Amino acid sequence: MEYQEKNIYVDTDAKLGDDVFHTIESAIEAAQPGNKIEIASNIYEEELVITQPELILEPKDLNGEVTLEQSIRPCIIIDVGHENTCTVNNLRMLLKGPNKDADIHSF
């Protein structure tokens, strides 16, 4: 299957447009398989749910610092099927709530 390679941008300070979003989740919802989501440095209090295969999420800048922050829920849930992939590069995840000292598990 061929996927469309297209860049989508997330920046809370940028003017919204066809390929520019203020939240990572809204960019994921608009993305198609094969798209790259480039995220501006910031702290994002979001829970990401990824079901589109072949997405790439990474900081927009080479040395950018993108942090996903949550109090209770997981920062990222990826469910693209066992035959597909999703790539997440260089995103920090921070649990700051009452469960911050609990073990982190993948499932």
- Domain limits at 67? 7-95
More confident residue, 12 or 105: 12
- Residues contacting 33, CB < 8 A, separation 6+: 1, 3, 4, 52, 53, 54, 55
Distances (CA, A) of 47 to 4, 38, 67: 25, 17, 12
Residue 31 pLDDT > 60: yes
The answer to whether residue 36 is domain-embedded is: yes
The answer to whether residue 107 is domain-embedded is: no
**pLDDT band at 97; cut points 50, 70, 90:** confident
The answer to whether residue 82 is domain-embedded is: yes
**pLDDT band at 26; cut points 50, 70, 90:** very high
Residue 82 pLDDT > 70: yes
Q: How many domains does the chain have?
A: 1
The answer to whether residue 51 is domain-embedded is: yes
